[in-house]
Structure 1
Amino acid sequence: MTVPPPIVAPSILAADFARLADEVRAVEDAADWLHVDVMDNHFVPNLTIGLPVVQSLRGATTIPFDVHLMIEDPRRWAPGYADAGAYNVTFHAEACDDPVALAKDLRSAGAKAGLAIDRDTPIESYLELLPSFDTLLIMTIKAGFGGQRFIPHLLDKVRAARRHVETGHLDVRIEVDGGITADTIAQAAEAGADAFVAGTAVYGADDPAEAVRKLRARAEHAVTGA
Protein backbone atom coordinates (compact mmCIF):
# COMPACT_ATOMS: atom_id res chain seq x y z
CA MET A 1 0.00 0.00 0.00
CA THR A 2 1.36 3.39 -1.05
CA VAL A 3 0.06 6.23 1.10
CA PRO A 4 1.07 9.90 0.79
CA PRO A 5 2.60 11.71 3.79
CA PRO A 6 -0.11 12.29 6.39
CA ILE A 7 -2.02 15.52 6.74
CA VAL A 8 -3.42 16.55 10.13
CA ALA A 9 -6.29 19.04 10.13
CA PRO A 10 -7.34 20.42 13.53
CA SER A 11 -11.08 20.98 13.69
CA ILE A 12 -12.13 24.36 15.02
CA LEU A 13 -15.39 22.78 16.14
CA ALA A 14 -13.46 21.83 19.30
CA ALA A 15 -11.84 25.24 19.72
CA ASP A 16 -12.89 28.03 22.08
CA PHE A 17 -15.03 30.24 19.84
CA ALA A 18 -14.62 33.19 22.20
CA ARG A 19 -10.96 33.32 21.17
CA LEU A 20 -11.12 31.62 17.83
CA ALA A 21 -8.40 33.59 16.06
CA ASP A 22 -5.97 32.82 18.90
CA GLU A 23 -6.95 29.14 18.81
CA VAL A 24 -6.19 29.01 15.11
CA ARG A 25 -2.82 30.72 15.53
CA ALA A 26 -1.96 28.20 18.27
CA VAL A 27 -1.71 25.45 15.63
CA GLU A 28 -0.44 27.55 12.74
CA ASP A 29 3.13 26.22 12.87
CA ALA A 30 2.04 22.57 13.08
CA ALA A 31 -1.22 22.02 11.18
CA ASP A 32 -1.34 21.09 7.50
CA TRP A 33 -4.96 22.18 7.06
CA LEU A 34 -7.55 23.82 9.30
CA HIS A 35 -10.82 21.87 9.29
CA VAL A 36 -13.88 24.11 9.31
CA ASP A 37 -17.21 22.39 10.03
CA VAL A 38 -20.20 24.21 8.55
CA MET A 39 -23.54 22.85 9.81
CA ASP A 40 -26.99 24.22 9.02
CA ASN A 41 -29.36 22.52 11.53
CA HIS A 42 -31.11 20.87 8.56
CA PHE A 43 -28.79 18.32 7.02
CA VAL A 44 -27.44 17.67 10.50
CA PRO A 45 -29.08 18.58 13.84
CA ASN A 46 -26.50 21.17 14.77
CA LEU A 47 -25.77 24.78 13.84
CA THR A 48 -22.23 26.12 13.69
CA ILE A 49 -20.62 28.81 11.55
CA GLY A 50 -21.21 30.05 8.03
CA LEU A 51 -19.61 31.93 5.20
CA PRO A 52 -19.14 35.33 6.96
CA VAL A 53 -17.10 33.73 9.74
CA VAL A 54 -14.96 31.85 7.24
CA GLN A 55 -14.38 35.03 5.25
CA SER A 56 -13.33 36.87 8.39
CA LEU A 57 -11.14 34.07 9.70
CA ARG A 58 -9.37 33.70 6.37
CA GLY A 59 -7.52 36.93 7.09
CA ALA A 60 -6.28 35.69 10.47
CA THR A 61 -4.14 32.75 9.34
CA THR A 62 -2.18 31.29 6.47
CA ILE A 63 -3.27 27.67 7.15
CA PRO A 64 -5.16 26.19 4.18
CA PHE A 65 -8.86 25.87 5.00
CA ASP A 66 -10.44 22.43 4.68
CA VAL A 67 -14.13 23.35 4.69
CA HIS A 68 -16.59 20.54 5.43
CA LEU A 69 -20.14 21.44 4.45
CA MET A 70 -22.73 19.48 6.39
CA ILE A 71 -25.58 21.38 4.79
CA GLU A 72 -28.55 21.02 2.49
CA ASP A 73 -28.27 22.43 -1.02
CA PRO A 74 -24.46 22.57 -1.25
CA ARG A 75 -24.69 23.64 -4.91
CA ARG A 76 -26.04 26.97 -3.68
CA TRP A 77 -23.41 27.61 -1.02
CA ALA A 78 -20.23 25.67 -1.79
CA PRO A 79 -18.79 27.97 -4.49
CA GLY A 80 -18.93 30.87 -2.03
CA TYR A 81 -16.45 29.10 0.24
CA ALA A 82 -14.12 28.57 -2.69
CA ASP A 83 -14.41 32.28 -3.51
CA ALA A 84 -13.62 33.05 0.15
CA GLY A 85 -10.24 31.35 -0.23
CA ALA A 86 -10.88 27.82 1.01
CA TYR A 87 -8.22 25.39 -0.16
CA ASN A 88 -10.56 22.40 -0.15
CA VAL A 89 -14.37 22.41 -0.06
CA THR A 90 -16.05 19.12 0.82
CA PHE A 91 -19.78 18.48 0.56
CA HIS A 92 -21.88 15.44 1.37
CA ALA A 93 -22.87 12.94 -1.29
CA GLU A 94 -26.19 12.51 0.53
CA ALA A 95 -27.05 16.20 -0.01
CA CYS A 96 -26.21 16.56 -3.70
CA ASP A 97 -27.91 15.06 -6.75
CA ASP A 98 -25.00 15.81 -9.11
CA PRO A 99 -21.71 15.65 -7.20
CA VAL A 100 -19.53 15.70 -10.30
CA ALA A 101 -21.09 18.95 -11.55
CA LEU A 102 -20.49 20.64 -8.21
CA ALA A 103 -16.92 19.34 -8.12
CA LYS A 104 -16.34 21.02 -11.49
CA ASP A 105 -17.78 24.28 -10.15
CA LEU A 106 -15.48 24.19 -7.12
CA ARG A 107 -12.42 23.51 -9.21
CA SER A 108 -13.38 26.31 -11.58
CA ALA A 109 -13.61 28.61 -8.56
CA GLY A 110 -10.05 27.73 -7.56
CA ALA A 111 -10.62 25.19 -4.78
CA LYS A 112 -10.02 21.50 -4.42
CA ALA A 113 -13.21 19.42 -4.44
CA GLY A 114 -14.06 16.93 -1.72
CA LEU A 115 -16.82 14.35 -1.40
CA ALA A 116 -18.00 13.28 2.07
CA ILE A 117 -19.65 9.97 2.92
CA ASP A 118 -21.62 9.77 6.17
CA ARG A 119 -21.64 6.88 8.63
CA ASP A 120 -24.64 5.00 7.22
CA THR A 121 -23.96 5.55 3.52
CA PRO A 122 -22.42 2.69 1.51
CA ILE A 123 -19.35 3.84 -0.35
CA GLU A 124 -19.35 1.53 -3.36
CA SER A 125 -21.58 3.58 -5.66
CA TYR A 126 -19.41 6.68 -5.18
CA LEU A 127 -16.01 5.18 -5.90
CA GLU A 128 -16.40 5.63 -9.66
CA LEU A 129 -16.81 9.39 -9.11
CA LEU A 130 -13.39 9.79 -7.52
CA PRO A 131 -11.54 10.94 -10.67
CA SER A 132 -13.61 14.14 -10.38
CA PHE A 133 -12.48 14.78 -6.80
CA ASP A 134 -9.36 15.68 -4.86
CA THR A 135 -10.49 14.43 -1.45
CA LEU A 136 -12.76 11.67 -0.21
CA LEU A 137 -13.85 12.31 3.38
CA ILE A 138 -15.11 9.23 5.20
CA MET A 139 -16.97 9.87 8.43
CA THR A 140 -15.89 7.58 11.26
CA ILE A 141 -18.81 8.83 13.36
CA LYS A 142 -22.28 10.16 12.51
CA ALA A 143 -21.94 13.63 11.04
CA GLY A 144 -23.22 16.49 13.16
CA PHE A 145 -21.47 16.64 16.53
CA GLY A 146 -17.90 16.58 17.77
CA GLY A 147 -16.65 14.43 20.62
CA GLN A 148 -18.23 11.16 19.45
CA ARG A 149 -16.55 7.79 19.84
CA PHE A 150 -14.62 6.43 16.85
CA ILE A 151 -16.37 3.53 15.05
CA PRO A 152 -13.69 1.03 13.92
CA HIS A 153 -15.77 -0.95 11.41
CA LEU A 154 -16.18 2.18 9.27
CA LEU A 155 -12.53 1.74 8.33
CA ASP A 156 -13.75 -0.92 5.89
CA LYS A 157 -14.81 2.03 3.73
CA VAL A 158 -11.31 3.46 3.98
CA ARG A 159 -9.82 0.15 2.88
CA ALA A 160 -12.17 -0.05 -0.09
CA ALA A 161 -11.37 3.52 -1.08
CA ARG A 162 -7.61 2.96 -0.79
CA ARG A 163 -7.82 -0.13 -3.01
CA HIS A 164 -9.79 1.84 -5.59
CA VAL A 165 -7.43 4.81 -5.51
CA GLU A 166 -4.36 2.62 -5.91
CA THR A 167 -5.88 0.43 -8.62
CA GLY A 168 -6.94 3.49 -10.59
CA HIS A 169 -3.71 5.42 -9.90
CA LEU A 170 -5.82 8.33 -8.66
CA ASP A 171 -4.49 11.45 -6.97
CA VAL A 172 -7.12 11.58 -4.21
CA ARG A 173 -6.63 12.21 -0.50
CA ILE A 174 -8.57 9.84 1.76
CA GLU A 175 -9.61 11.80 4.84
CA VAL A 176 -11.20 10.50 8.03
CA ASP A 177 -13.27 12.59 10.40
CA GLY A 178 -14.59 11.58 13.79
CA GLY A 179 -13.02 10.33 17.00
CA ILE A 180 -9.45 10.67 15.74
CA THR A 181 -7.09 10.58 18.71
CA ALA A 182 -3.60 9.36 19.52
CA ASP A 183 -5.18 5.93 20.08
CA THR A 184 -7.18 5.71 16.83
CA ILE A 185 -5.11 7.55 14.23
CA ALA A 186 -2.81 4.57 13.72
CA GLN A 187 -5.78 2.32 12.92
CA ALA A 188 -7.03 4.80 10.35
CA ALA A 189 -3.59 5.20 8.80
CA GLU A 190 -3.09 1.44 8.57
CA ALA A 191 -6.45 1.18 6.79
CA GLY A 192 -5.27 3.65 4.15
CA ALA A 193 -6.31 7.10 5.31
CA ASP A 194 -3.81 9.89 4.70
CA ALA A 195 -5.62 12.96 6.06
CA PHE A 196 -6.95 13.13 9.61
CA VAL A 197 -9.39 15.54 11.22
CA ALA A 198 -8.78 15.92 14.95
CA GLY A 199 -10.82 18.12 17.26
CA THR A 200 -10.69 17.44 20.98
CA ALA A 201 -7.40 15.54 20.57
CA VAL A 202 -5.85 18.86 19.55
CA TYR A 203 -7.80 21.54 21.34
CA GLY A 204 -8.20 19.50 24.50
CA ALA A 205 -4.42 19.25 24.83
CA ASP A 206 -2.26 21.58 26.88
CA ASP A 207 -0.17 22.28 23.77
CA PRO A 208 -2.33 22.03 20.63
CA ALA A 209 0.58 22.42 18.22
CA GLU A 210 2.52 19.62 19.87
CA ALA A 211 -0.60 17.46 19.82
CA VAL A 212 -0.77 17.92 16.04
CA ARG A 213 2.88 16.90 15.67
CA LYS A 214 2.38 13.79 17.80
CA LEU A 215 -0.69 12.76 15.81
CA ARG A 216 1.21 13.12 12.54
CA ALA A 217 4.12 11.10 13.93
CA ARG A 218 1.78 8.30 15.00
CA ALA A 219 0.20 8.19 11.54
CA GLU A 220 3.61 8.10 9.87
CA HIS A 221 4.84 5.35 12.17
CA ALA A 222 1.73 3.24 11.49
CA VAL A 223 2.47 3.24 7.76
CA THR A 224 6.26 3.27 7.59
CA GLY A 225 7.34 1.90 10.96
CA ALA A 226 9.75 4.83 11.23
Structure 2
Amino acid sequence: MNDERKMERMETGIPGYDELLGGGFFKGSMNAVIGGSGTGKTAFGGEFIHNGVKEGMTGMIVLTSEEAEYIKREWYTSFGWDFWKLEEEGKVIFVDIADPSLRLQKTVEISPDELIKSFKKLLESKIKNVNPDLIFIDSLEAVFLAIESRYRLKSMVDDVFNVLRRAPATCIVTSGTIYGVDEIIAYSSDSITNLGMVRVGNNLQRSVHVGKHRGSATVNQVRVLQLSDDGISVLSQSPYLEF
Protein backbone atom coordinates (compact mmCIF):
# COMPACT_ATOMS: atom_id res chain seq x y z
CA MET A 1 0.00 0.00 0.00
CA ASN A 2 1.41 3.36 -1.04
CA ASP A 3 1.70 6.07 1.61
CA GLU A 4 1.87 9.52 0.05
CA ARG A 5 3.27 10.93 3.29
CA LYS A 6 6.57 9.13 2.75
CA MET A 7 9.42 10.93 1.02
CA GLU A 8 10.07 9.81 -2.54
CA ARG A 9 13.42 8.36 -3.51
CA MET A 10 15.52 9.01 -6.59
CA GLU A 11 18.45 6.88 -7.70
CA THR A 12 21.73 8.63 -8.44
CA GLY A 13 22.69 6.16 -11.14
CA ILE A 14 26.20 5.85 -9.68
CA PRO A 15 26.87 2.09 -9.63
CA GLY A 16 27.06 0.76 -6.08
CA TYR A 17 26.33 4.13 -4.43
CA ASP A 18 22.55 3.89 -4.16
CA GLU A 19 22.99 0.69 -2.15
CA LEU A 20 25.09 2.60 0.41
CA LEU A 21 22.34 5.23 0.65
CA GLY A 22 19.65 2.64 1.29
CA GLY A 23 18.03 3.15 -2.12
CA GLY A 24 19.14 6.58 -3.36
CA PHE A 25 18.62 10.18 -2.27
CA PHE A 26 15.28 11.54 -1.15
CA LYS A 27 13.90 14.00 -3.69
CA GLY A 28 14.43 17.61 -2.68
CA SER A 29 17.18 16.72 -0.19
CA MET A 30 20.49 18.44 0.57
CA ASN A 31 23.44 16.09 0.28
CA ALA A 32 27.04 16.87 1.23
CA VAL A 33 30.01 15.16 -0.41
CA ILE A 34 33.07 15.86 1.71
CA GLY A 35 36.71 14.99 1.15
CA GLY A 36 40.23 16.23 0.67
CA SER A 37 41.86 17.29 -2.56
CA GLY A 38 41.94 14.58 -5.22
CA THR A 39 39.33 12.32 -3.64
CA GLY A 40 36.84 12.69 -6.51
CA LYS A 41 34.31 15.24 -5.24
CA THR A 42 33.91 17.19 -8.48
CA ALA A 43 33.69 14.05 -10.60
CA PHE A 44 31.12 12.65 -8.14
CA GLY A 45 28.82 15.63 -8.63
CA GLY A 46 29.34 15.59 -12.38
CA GLU A 47 28.32 11.94 -12.54
CA PHE A 48 25.19 12.74 -10.51
CA ILE A 49 24.14 15.48 -12.95
CA HIS A 50 25.11 13.51 -16.06
CA ASN A 51 23.13 10.45 -14.97
CA GLY A 52 20.09 12.55 -14.09
CA VAL A 53 20.08 14.27 -17.46
CA LYS A 54 20.10 10.85 -19.15
CA GLU A 55 16.89 10.12 -17.22
CA GLY A 56 15.20 13.27 -18.55
CA MET A 57 15.96 15.65 -15.68
CA THR A 58 17.50 19.12 -15.90
CA GLY A 59 20.59 20.13 -13.99
CA MET A 60 22.28 23.27 -12.70
CA ILE A 61 25.99 23.26 -11.87
CA VAL A 62 27.34 26.10 -9.72
CA LEU A 63 31.13 26.49 -9.72
CA THR A 64 32.62 28.78 -7.10
CA SER A 65 36.33 28.39 -7.84
CA GLU A 66 37.23 26.71 -11.13
CA GLU A 67 36.03 27.95 -14.50
CA ALA A 68 33.25 26.03 -16.23
CA GLU A 69 35.20 25.61 -19.45
CA TYR A 70 38.04 23.90 -17.60
CA ILE A 71 35.66 21.54 -15.78
CA LYS A 72 33.86 20.65 -19.03
CA ARG A 73 37.17 19.85 -20.72
CA GLU A 74 38.32 17.79 -17.74
CA TRP A 75 35.11 15.74 -17.66
CA TYR A 76 35.16 15.22 -21.42
CA THR A 77 38.81 14.11 -21.36
CA SER A 78 38.40 11.80 -18.36
CA PHE A 79 34.93 10.34 -18.88
CA GLY A 80 33.66 11.38 -22.32
CA TRP A 81 30.84 13.52 -20.84
CA ASP A 82 29.88 16.13 -23.43
CA PHE A 83 28.48 18.93 -21.29
CA TRP A 84 28.79 21.42 -24.17
CA LYS A 85 26.13 19.42 -26.01
CA LEU A 86 23.94 19.16 -22.91
CA GLU A 87 24.15 22.95 -22.53
CA GLU A 88 23.17 23.51 -26.15
CA GLU A 89 20.18 21.21 -25.66
CA GLY A 90 19.07 23.17 -22.58
CA LYS A 91 19.46 20.19 -20.27
CA VAL A 92 22.23 21.69 -18.11
CA ILE A 93 23.15 25.23 -17.13
CA PHE A 94 26.49 26.26 -15.64
CA VAL A 95 26.62 29.11 -13.14
CA ASP A 96 30.28 30.04 -13.25
CA ILE A 97 31.25 32.27 -10.33
CA ALA A 98 34.74 32.50 -11.83
CA ASP A 99 33.18 34.28 -14.83
CA PRO A 100 33.85 38.04 -14.45
CA SER A 101 30.15 38.83 -14.98
CA LEU A 102 29.19 36.58 -12.03
CA ARG A 103 32.19 37.02 -9.79
CA LEU A 104 30.15 38.25 -6.80
CA GLN A 105 32.83 40.87 -6.22
CA LYS A 106 35.15 38.21 -4.77
CA THR A 107 38.17 40.35 -5.60
CA VAL A 108 36.64 43.47 -4.04
CA GLU A 109 36.76 44.34 -0.35
CA ILE A 110 33.20 43.64 0.78
CA SER A 111 31.91 42.13 3.98
CA PRO A 112 31.32 38.36 4.18
CA ASP A 113 27.65 39.08 4.91
CA GLU A 114 27.28 40.97 1.63
CA LEU A 115 29.08 38.20 -0.24
CA ILE A 116 26.66 35.58 1.10
CA LYS A 117 23.66 37.81 0.31
CA SER A 118 24.89 38.20 -3.27
CA PHE A 119 25.37 34.44 -3.57
CA LYS A 120 21.86 33.75 -2.25
CA LYS A 121 20.32 36.26 -4.67
CA LEU A 122 22.22 34.70 -7.56
CA LEU A 123 20.99 31.22 -6.60
CA GLU A 124 17.39 32.41 -6.23
CA SER A 125 17.49 34.13 -9.62
CA LYS A 126 19.01 31.16 -11.44
CA ILE A 127 16.70 28.64 -9.78
CA LYS A 128 13.66 30.74 -10.71
CA ASN A 129 14.77 31.01 -14.33
CA VAL A 130 15.96 27.43 -14.80
CA ASN A 131 13.73 25.44 -12.41
CA PRO A 132 16.24 22.56 -12.26
CA ASP A 133 15.53 19.07 -11.00
CA LEU A 134 19.12 18.66 -9.82
CA ILE A 135 21.67 21.13 -8.44
CA PHE A 136 25.40 20.60 -7.92
CA ILE A 137 27.51 23.21 -6.10
CA ASP A 138 31.29 22.78 -6.20
CA SER A 139 32.45 23.82 -3.72
CA LEU A 140 30.43 25.49 -1.00
CA GLU A 141 33.37 26.03 1.33
CA ALA A 142 34.80 28.69 -1.00
CA VAL A 143 31.78 30.89 -0.27
CA PHE A 144 32.11 30.67 3.53
CA LEU A 145 35.86 30.85 4.17
CA ALA A 146 35.76 34.43 5.45
CA ILE A 147 33.20 33.67 8.19
CA GLU A 148 35.10 33.38 11.48
CA SER A 149 32.23 32.96 13.95
CA ARG A 150 30.94 29.37 14.06
CA TYR A 151 27.49 30.63 15.05
CA ARG A 152 27.30 32.99 12.06
CA LEU A 153 28.71 30.32 9.78
CA LYS A 154 25.97 27.86 10.82
CA SER A 155 23.31 30.54 10.34
CA MET A 156 24.57 31.48 6.87
CA VAL A 157 24.91 27.87 5.72
CA ASP A 158 21.31 27.28 6.82
CA ASP A 159 20.20 30.40 4.91
CA VAL A 160 21.79 29.13 1.70
CA PHE A 161 20.39 25.63 2.25
CA ASN A 162 16.91 27.09 2.75
CA VAL A 163 17.18 28.78 -0.65
CA LEU A 164 18.09 25.43 -2.20
CA ARG A 165 15.37 23.50 -0.33
CA ARG A 166 12.72 25.85 -1.72
CA ALA A 167 13.79 24.96 -5.27
CA PRO A 168 12.77 22.09 -4.67
CA ALA A 169 15.63 20.31 -6.43
CA THR A 170 17.76 17.42 -5.22
CA CYS A 171 21.16 18.90 -4.40
CA ILE A 172 24.75 17.82 -3.96
CA VAL A 173 27.20 20.27 -2.42
CA THR A 174 30.89 19.57 -1.99
CA SER A 175 33.34 20.74 0.64
CA GLY A 176 37.00 20.16 1.40
CA THR A 177 38.26 19.31 4.86
CA ILE A 178 41.04 21.75 5.74
CA TYR A 179 39.12 24.83 6.88
CA GLY A 180 36.49 23.34 9.18
CA VAL A 181 33.58 24.58 7.05
CA ASP A 182 32.79 20.95 6.20
CA GLU A 183 31.65 20.25 9.76
CA ILE A 184 28.91 22.89 9.57
CA ILE A 185 27.87 21.88 6.06
CA ALA A 186 27.69 18.24 7.14
CA TYR A 187 25.61 19.09 10.22
CA SER A 188 23.02 20.95 8.12
CA SER A 189 22.83 18.38 5.31
CA ASP A 190 20.37 15.53 4.93
CA SER A 191 23.14 13.12 3.98
CA ILE A 192 26.92 13.03 4.29
CA THR A 193 29.15 11.10 1.94
CA ASN A 194 32.80 11.05 2.95
CA LEU A 195 35.45 10.52 0.28
CA GLY A 196 39.06 9.76 1.15
CA MET A 197 42.36 8.19 0.20
CA VAL A 198 43.48 5.01 1.96
CA ARG A 199 47.06 3.79 1.89
CA VAL A 200 47.50 0.02 1.83
CA GLY A 201 51.14 -0.97 1.51
CA ASN A 202 52.50 0.99 -1.44
CA ASN A 203 49.06 1.52 -2.96
CA LEU A 204 46.54 4.34 -2.60
CA GLN A 205 42.83 3.61 -2.90
CA ARG A 206 40.00 6.09 -3.07
CA SER A 207 37.38 5.34 -0.42
CA VAL A 208 33.73 6.23 0.14
CA HIS A 209 31.27 5.78 2.96
CA VAL A 210 27.92 7.29 3.89
CA GLY A 211 28.16 8.83 7.34
CA LYS A 212 24.55 9.99 7.60
CA HIS A 213 21.30 9.76 5.67
CA ARG A 214 18.28 11.16 7.48
CA GLY A 215 15.23 8.93 7.32
CA SER A 216 17.10 6.04 5.75
CA ALA A 217 19.05 2.96 6.65
CA THR A 218 22.57 2.92 5.20
CA VAL A 219 25.30 0.39 4.56
CA ASN A 220 27.77 1.00 7.37
CA GLN A 221 30.88 0.10 5.41
CA VAL A 222 33.85 1.86 3.82
CA ARG A 223 34.15 0.84 0.18
CA VAL A 224 36.37 1.50 -2.82
CA LEU A 225 35.48 4.48 -5.00
CA GLN A 226 36.65 3.79 -8.53
CA LEU A 227 37.25 6.40 -11.23
CA SER A 228 37.55 4.93 -14.72
CA ASP A 229 36.96 5.93 -18.33
CA ASP A 230 33.28 5.12 -17.72
CA GLY A 231 32.95 7.48 -14.75
CA ILE A 232 32.43 6.90 -11.02
CA SER A 233 31.47 3.62 -9.39
CA VAL A 234 31.44 2.19 -5.87
CA LEU A 235 32.90 -1.29 -5.60
CA SER A 236 31.73 -3.86 -3.06
CA GLN A 237 35.22 -4.41 -1.66
CA SER A 238 36.94 -2.65 1.22
CA PRO A 239 39.79 -0.26 0.36
CA TYR A 240 41.79 -1.71 3.27
CA LEU A 241 42.40 -5.07 1.55
CA GLU A 242 45.97 -5.50 0.33
CA PHE A 243 46.30 -7.00 -3.14
State TM-score, norm by structure 1.
Answer: 0.41
Q: By percentage of residues, which structure has more strand?
A: 2
Greater gyration radius:
2
Q: By percentage of residues, which structure has more helix?
A: 1
State TM-score, norm by structure 2.
Answer: 0.39
